[in-house]
Chain A
Amino acid sequence: MESVGVISIIAGIIGRFWPVWLSLAAMMFLSFSFRKKLGLYGQVMGSRVGVVGVMICGFWLFTAIFADIIGTVDPRVQLSAMKNAIPGATDPETNVVFYLGGDQLARDVFSRVVHGARIVLTIAPAATLIAFIVGITLGLPAGYFGGRVDNTLSFLANLVLAFPVILLFYLLVTPGIMETPIPYVMAGFFFMFPVIFFVTLFWTKFSARPEKVWIYVAVTLVLGLWLYVGLVFDADPLGIVHIEPNELNIFVAVVFASSPGVFRIVRGLTLDIMTRDYVSAAQTRGEAPWYIMLWEILPNARGPLIVDACLRIGYTTILLGTLGFFGLGMGSESPDWGTAIKDGSKIAQLRLFTWQGVSPALALMSLVLGLNLLADALREESLKD
C-alpha cells in the first residue's frame, strides 16, 4: 500500500481545512476591526489568552459547519483495504489519502474526527442552553422567595448533585430505557421550561401594552410548541424538526446532570443581587416579583453566567465523551469523539495503532481547552470593570 510522508500529511490536513481558515480569518478580521463596539467580546480580543480561546472555539465551530467539505470520505463508509492503515496511507481503489490512518473497521479517522465535531457542537451547546434555562427558571424564584420554595428546590438539586454522574448515565442512558416512557416524560418536562421562560419574560415586560404582548407571546408559543412537538413526540407536522430517540435520551440525561449546577449558581447570584438598591427601588415601585427577577436581577447576573456557560459547554463536551467512552446512547457507528476514543483506547489498539485513539482525544482536549481559555479571559475582563 502506498503512503505519503509526514510533510505531505501535515500539508494535506492544513489544505483540507481551507474553508475553516478563510472563515476564521474573516471572523478575526471583523472582530478586531469592530473591537470597540463589541462590548465584552471586544474586550476579550484584547487579551492573548482570549484570542487563543476564541480561535480554538472558532476553529471547531467552522469545522462542524463545513464538515462535509473538509472530510475526505463519508465517516461511516468502510474501505476494506484500509483496516488499521497507518496515517498517510492511500486507498488503492479510490486513491483517497487517509491523513490520520484508518480505524479497526477500516474507516477514515480524519473524516470521523471532523464529523465528530458536528455531533459534539450541536448537542453540547444546545443541552447547555436548555440546562441554563431550566436552572435560571428555578434558581431565580428559589433565591428570590427563599423559604419553602428554596428548601424544596435546593433539596432536589442536592439530590441530583449527590448522584455520581456515571451511575446516573448508566441508569438513564440504556437501550432498555427507551422502551419505557421515562426519557419522553423527562424531555417533556425539560422542554417545557424554554416556553414558560420566554412567555413569562415577555409577559412581565409588556403586559401593560396588550398590542405588543400578544404578538410576542403568540410567536413564542407557536415556535415553542412546534419545536416541542417535534422534539418530544417526534411528530412535527412539517417534518423538519426531528431527533433520534437515542439522541433525545443523551440530551435529556446531559440536561438533567447539569441543570442543578446552574440552579445553584443562579440562586447564589440572586441572593447577592437582591441586596442591591435597584432591586429595592423596583420593589418600592411595586413591580411584580417575576418582573424583578427576569428584568432586574437576571441581566445583572449575566457576567458570571456567561463565564459559567463557557465552562459548562466544555464540561458537557466531556460528559458526552464519557457517554461515548462507555458506549452509552451513541450508536456504535457514530463518529463522535467519545466512541472513537473508546474504540481506540483498548490496550492492543493503543499499542499498535496509536493514532486511532490519540486523534479524537486531542480533538476533544483542544475544544475543551479553547472553551476554558475563553472562559478565563471573559472572567478576567468582566472583573476589570
Chain B
Amino acid sequence: MFGFILKRLGVMALTALCLSFVVFMFVNLEPNLKKLAIFQTESRATADDLNRWLERNGYRDNYLVRYGRWIGLAQKQPVMDPTTGQQVPRFRYCDDPAVPTYSGVLQGDFGCSTAFRTTVASKLGESLRATGILMFWVMITMVPISLLIGVLAGMREGSKTDRTLSIGSIATTATPEYVSGVLFTALFATGLGWLNGSAATALTQGVSFYNFTLPVMTMAIYGIGYIARMTRASMAEVMTSQYIRTARLKGMSFRAVVMKHALRNALIAPFTVIMLQFPWLLTGVVVVESMFNYKGFGYLLVQAASNNDIDMVLACGLVSVVLVLMTQLISDIGYAFLNPRIRVS
C-alpha cells in the first residue's frame, strides 16, 4: 500500500510539473508579454522600449531558466537600473530580493499580481478561504441529496419512483451552472423575491440563507444528477447480487436488507465519483462566482486571466491542477480501502 501511494505521488508530481510548464508557456506567449510591457511602461512606448523593458526585467531569458525561477530551483536576479546602477523592483507594489536568491513556489513566493497590485500569495489565501466556504455548503447539500435520490431510485429498479427520479436526474445534468443560475435567479430573486441575486454580502456580513442559497443551489444542481445516476447504477447492481437474495430469502425485511447489506457496498462507487467531481466543480465555481459576484477563487481566476496577470494565472493554474490530482489520489486510495475485493500489493 505504501509503495502504491509513493508511486502515485511520483506520477502526480510529474503531472503537476508538466502541466505547470504548459501553463507557464501559455501565459508567457509573446502577445501576453507585449501586453504586460505596454501596461507597465504606461504611455507611448515604442516597440524598442517595450523590448528593453522585457529584457531588463528578465522576460527574455531562457524559458527553462525562467520556469526554474518561478518554481524556485533557479535564482531570481535583482533588476538594476542601467543609468543609476540602483536596484528597482520589477513592479512597484511588490518587493524584489536585492541579491540573487532562490525565491519561487517551493519557497512560498508565488510572484506579483499586476491586476490586484499586491503579492499573489496574499490574494490567493483569502480567495481560497472564500471558495472553501462555498464548497463546504455545496458539498453539505449536494452529497446527501444525490445519495438519497440514487439509493431510492436504485432500490427498486424499474419502479415508478425509479423512473421519476431518473428523469429528474437527467434533467439536472442537462442544466449547467450558467443556465440554472439564470433560471433560479429569475424565479427566486426577480419573480418571488425570496432570495438575493448577489452573494457579495456573504463575505462582508456573513453567510445567510438570503444571500447564499442561490449560489449553493446553482452549483449543487449540476452535480446532483450525475452522482445520483452513479449511485443508482451501483445500487441497482448490488440489489441483484446473490447475497441480497440470500438475505431476503432468510426472511429479513426489505428495509433491513437495504440498510444493513446493500447500502455499504452500493456507496463505494459513488465515493469515487464524488471525489472526481472536484474538477467539474471548479468550472462551476468560476461560473457561479462571476455570476453572483462572490469574490473567491473563481473570481480571481477570471480577473487574472482577463487582465493578463501572468503570475496570478500561474498560481491559479497550479492550485487547480494540484487540487484535481489530490482528489484523484484520494479517490484511488479510498476506493482501495473501502472495497474489500481490491488489494494493492
Contacts and interface: CB of A to CB of B under 8 A. Distances in A.
B153 to A, nearest CB: 13
A345 B320 contact: no
Contact of A357 (B26, B182, B282, B324): B182
B115 interface: no
Identify which of A164, A167, A358 gathers the most chain B CB atoms within 10 Å of its CB: A164
Contacts of A362: 179, 183
A100 to B, nearest CB: 13
B15 A350 contact: no
A372 B176 contact: no
Nearest to A160: B19
B23 to A, nearest CB: 7
B287 interface: yes
B131 interface: no
Interface in B171-190: 171, 173-176, 178-179, 181-183, 185-186, 189-190
Contact of A170 (B19, B167, B198, B305): B305
Interface string A138-176: 000000000000000001001101111111001110001
Contacts of A26: none
A182 B35 CA distance: 18
B29 A177 contact: yes
Contact of A171 (B27, B35, B170, B185): B27
A163 B178 contact: no
Interface string A307-347: 00000001000100110011000000000001001101101
A180 B173 CA distance: 36
Given A167-B23, A357-B186, A345 B291 contact: yes
Contacts of A155: 11, 15
B296 interface: no
Contacts of A163: 19, 22, 321, 324
A71 B293 CA distance: 34
Interface string B31-59: 11001000000000000000000000000
A351 B197 contact: yes
Contact of B178 (A180, A341, A347): A341
A341 B282 CA distance: 20
A16 B183 CA distance: 25
A376 interface: yes
Contacts of A368: 174-176
B324 A364 contact: no
A136 interface: no
Given A162-B19, A177-B29, A350 B178 contact: no
B113 to A, nearest CB: 16
A67 interface: no
A321 B176 contact: yes
Contact of B320 (A158, A167, A321, A325): A167
Contacts of B301: 166-167, 170
Contact of B182 (A164, A318, A345): A345
Contacts of A342: 178
A326 B302 contact: yes
B260 to A, nearest CB: 29
Contacts of B174: 314, 365, 368-369, 371-372
A252 interface: no
Contacts of A172: 26
Given A167-B320, A171-B27, A365-B183, 4 more contacts: A176-B31, A179-B31, A351-B190, A365-B179
Interface of A: 49, 155, 158-159, 161-167, 170-172, 176-177, 179-180, 182, 314, 318, 321-322, 325-326, 338, 341-342, 344-345, 347, 350-351, 354, 357-358, 361-362, 364-365, 368-369, 371-373, 376
26 contacts: A49-B167, A162-B15, A163-B19, A163-B22, A164-B324, A165-B279, A166-B286, A166-B287, A167-B316, A167-B317, A170-B301, A171-B313, A176-B31, A180-B31, A321-B179, A322-B176, A326-B302, A344-B182, A345-B185, A351-B189, A354-B191, A361-B182, A365-B175, A369-B170, A372-B170, A376-B166
